[in-house]
Amino acid sequence: MRNLLSMEHLTNDEVMMIIERAAQFEAGEQSVLDRTYHVANLFFEPSTRTKTSFEMAERKVGCTVIPFDAGFSSALKGETMYDTVKTLEMIGMDAVVIRAKEDEYYNELLEGINVAVINAGDGAGQHPSQSLLDLYTIYKEFGSFEGLNVTIVGDISHSRVAKSNATALRRLGVNVRFLCPPEWAGDFEAHHSWDELLEDSDVIMLLRIQHERHIVNKSFSKESYHEQYGLTFEREARMKKHAIIMHPAPVNRDVEIASELVECERSRIFSQVRNGVFVRMAIIETILKGR
């Protein structure tokens, strides 16, 4: 692996290699990088988890993190993504982690750039490190993927998490179903009611409503979304005994999920965040060793 751009580029073997390495890091193993590498995190969209988690992972595997403030960079003067990354390469960076609002922004970095590029989210495209940490969370819970029922609920068309996870989970033998209001299905076939989904789901994966990517819809009501598509106490009580709840976060409490369920016994929402550090350590180490 020389870059991490999209889950569509990863084989099942590469996914399992990251999961196994993340498990070793979680068990306390140290990284085996041969020298100090320099990494910068370029976040042109807001982030709490992904940015901080990458920075923690980079430091834990022994990288030097070079600060980059996207909101105070020459991108604001119109510098292209290519010129920004090439500049950081010339300064001595070995890898860049990028989040940007344009889908597939990384296409302009495929030629002429010699640093590793790790996609931390491209518009409504892909979010591969989130997907890998979600896969790690599921694998830790069930020990395999084959035959699991995973229901992804919410803002499917705007969700890079939904797209990344659907690609990877289906390839690993998971039965993936979508549940959302008809106008949020995008190109996916989706259910529009919880019937037939709630009681046989092994994983209910809730998605954040991405108001920032919606054209203003005055008819949208948080209360009616919660009533029709949210995970309420009544619905949680009907879930399978060992089924788990996931959400990439940030959570809109009492919209996608009843606030008190965020830390209920079934919820893995905060475990996902913890798992993300080990998975990102595995991603960074694998990519830097592979170059």
Between residues 34 and 212, which has the closer beta carbon with respect to ligand CP? Answer: 212
Is residue 86 a known part of a binding site?
no
- Going by the DSSP 8-state scheme, the letter that residue 239 receives in this structure is S
Stretch in the footprint of ligand CP (CB under 6 A) among 5-13, 22-30, 198-206, 242-250: 242-250
User: Nearest approach, Cβ of 121 to ligand CP (angstroms)?
Assistant: 6
User: Nearest approach, Cβ of 50 to ligand CP (angstroms)?
Assistant: 3
Between residues 166 and 198, which has the closer beta carbon with respect to ligand CP? Answer: 166
Between residues 113 and 157, which has the closer beta carbon with respect to ligand CP? Answer: 157
Exactly one of 125, 128, 154, 248 binds ligand CP (CB under 6 A); which one? 248
Whether 207 contacts 252, CB under 8 Å:
no
Between residues 49 and 191, which has the closer beta carbon with respect to ligand CP? Answer: 49
> Rule CB under 6 A: is residue 165 a binding residue for ligand CP?
no
> Rule CB under 6 A: is residue 249 a binding residue for ligand CP?
yes
CA distances from 286 to 1, 4, 19, 121 (A): 7, 10, 11, 19
> Rule CB under 6 A: is residue 130 a binding residue for ligand CP?
yes
Between residues 60 and 191, which has the closer beta carbon with respect to ligand CP? Answer: 60
CA distances from 193 to 66, 101, 126, 240, 289 (A): 47, 31, 26, 18, 46
> Rule CB under 6 A: is residue 48 a binding residue for ligand CP?
yes
Q: Which long-range contacts (CB under 8 A, 24 or more apart) does 98-102 make?
A: 98/42, 98/43, 98/44, 99/42, 99/43, 99/44, 99/45, 99/47, 99/50, 99/51, 100/42, 100/44, 100/45, 101/44, 101/45
Q: Rg of the chain over CA atoms, in angstroms?
A: 19
What is the strand order of the sheet 64-66 is part of? 64-66, 38-43, 95-100, 116-122
Site for ligand CP, rule CB under 6 A: 47-50, 130, 248-250
Task: Return binding residues for carbamoyl phosphate.
Answer: 49-50, 99, 127, 130, 249-250
Task: Return binding residues.
Answer: 49-50, 77, 99, 127, 130, 160, 208, 249-250
